[in-house]
Amino acid sequence: MKKNSLYKGTLQNIILKLLSKEVKMYGYQITQRAKELTEGELEMTEGALYPLLHKLEADGIITSEIQEINGRSRKYYLLSEKGKKQQAVQEDEMRSYLFNLKTIFDI
């Protein structure tokens, strides 16, 4: 992360959430979408993104497919069935975590 190391531990949640919304995405698109949604606040480093994508793929949480786009080979990532379930669970946990944090910081 460029601006905030607090995002670091939530990178997996962010990727899974983006994939659940966009169905399939490639590496650069993930970095740009995260940046766009957070109005430039969250800048994923490539060195953090790709090892995590490969780990999630090895764990069977995401799958990949290679497509030819304008003469370029592009690797797209998609949520697997296992990943969809995991994403739903993680999203619930994250929402509860954020709600609790907000409660504490609002006092």
Partner 1 sequence: MISEEQKLEIEKYLMSKNLPLDILFEVKDHFMTQIDCFQIEKKVSFDTAFRDTKEIWKEDLKQVKYYNEKEIASFAKDIKDKNAKKKLRKAVLSTIVALAVLFSVSRLMDRSDFSEFFMYAIIIFVSVPGIFVLRYMKFYHLSFQNKKVRLNIYQGYEGLSIYFGFLFPFITGYYSQAGDGIYQFFSGSVDEFTDIMLFTIISLSYFFTIFMQVGFIKSAKKMTNEINRLHRLKI
Q: Which of 101, 93, 107, 60 is nearest to 79 (CA)?
A: 60
| Choice between 64 and 91, CB closer to partner 1 | 64
Using CB under 8 A, list all residues that contact partner 1: 26-28, 32, 45-47, 50-51, 54-55, 58-59, 64, 66, 72-75
| Choice between 26 and 91, CB closer to partner 1 | 26
Beta carbons of 79 and 91 less than 8 angstroms apart: no
| Choice between 54 and 95, CB closer to partner 1 | 54
Q: How far is the CB of 16 from partner 1 (least distance, A)?
A: 18
By CB atoms closer than 10 A (0-12, 13-18, 19+), residue 27 is middle
Q: How far is the CB of 19 from partner 1 (least distance, A)?
A: 16
Q: How far is the CB of 89 from partner 1 (least distance, A)?
A: 21
The structure tokens listed for 82 are 């296992």
Q: Which of 94, 74, 71, 73 is nearest to 20 (CA)?
A: 94
